[in-house]
Amino acid sequence: MTRFALTIEFDGGPFFGLQRQDNGPSVQQSIEDAAHAVTGETVTLHSAGRTDSGVHALAMRSHLDIEKPFEPFRLMEALNAKLRPDPVAVIGCEVKPDDWHARFSCIGRSYEYRIRNRRAPLTLERGRAWHVARPLDAGAMHAAAQALVGQHDFTTFRSAHCQAASPVKTLDRLDVTREGDGVIIRAAARSFLHHQVRSMVGCLALVGQGTWGIDQLAEALEAKDRSALGLNAPPEGLYFVKATYPEEK
């Protein structure tokens, strides 16, 4: 049995999420079905994180165990051939020790949220960015975001369906930058709560529009109450960017 670590890129639009679902297609199901077609084996895909319906990934890390001998490059090519036409691609494949785990060995996760801040509707980026027509002050958003960096109880920014044992997380980075009419929010932490990034982005957008000030964001955090959340950003602007492991730091 060989453990293969996969790096996966996908468009989350057609899927109900990364994790296998009973009520619709998932990225996990697509890859497991492709692996079965290639190897004849029933395998289980384990991933560094979960994603909601509509959320994308630039480099999700996952692993699966396969009995049949394969060179990593050949396995990657075979999986990609079977994944078509699903918008999923294996962009990296390597052998890992048996004790390496895509989820439990991961020591850091990074996300990016993309806002297109303009009056005109989206065309090329429809389904891949959040369209906000009202002007956003990215500088104010970045300044407010620093109130969320560090260790906090993020209950306000946590989905009611979150299964994490504790709402306390340490946010290592939350940066907001403007690139033309794009506003990019980059977040990094060891792990995140369900909806945490989208909830933080939604509230930062309120700050950027002038609806909230920095004080309101801090008060929402301190409330430790989901009802204090101002806005949950839609899923289509969110991208899983990177998973970090001790041997790769």
pLDDT attached to residue 248: 76
pLDDT digits (tens, 9 = 90+) for 208-223: 999 999 999 999 999 9
Beta-bridged to residue 89, according to DSSP, are 9
pLDDT of res. 247: 76
Q: For residue 198, how many other CB atoms are within 10 A of its CB?
A: 24
pTM: 0.94
Per-residue pLDDT of the chain (249 residues; tens, 9 = 90+): 999 999 999 999 999 999 998 888 999 999 999 999 999 999 999 999 989 999 999 999 999 999 999 999 999 999 999 999 999 999 999 999 999 999 999 999 999 999 999 999 999 999 999 999 999 999 999 999 999 999 999 999 998 888 888 999 999 999 999 999 999 999 999 999 999 999 999 999 999 999 999 999 999 999 999 999 989 999 999 999 999 999 776
Q: Which domains does the chain have, with CATH numbers?
A: 2-96 (3.30.70.580), 108-248 (3.30.70.660)
Any residues with CB less than 8 A from the CB of 91 and at least 6 apart, and which?
A: 7, 8, 9, 59
For every residue of 4-31, DSSP letters joined together read EEEEEEE--TTSSBSS--SSS--HHHHH
* Cα distance between residue 62 and residue 50, in whole Å: 11
Give the tokens for residue 188.
Answer: 């990094």
The two tokens of residue 242 are 């990177």
184 neighbors 58 (Cβ within 8 angstroms): no
Task: Indicate if 225 belongs to the active site.
Answer: no
Calpha distance 56→51 (Å, rounded): 8
pLDDT at 70: 93
* Strand ranges, E, within 76-125: 88-96, 108-117
* Set 11, 22, 33, 52: catalytic member: 52
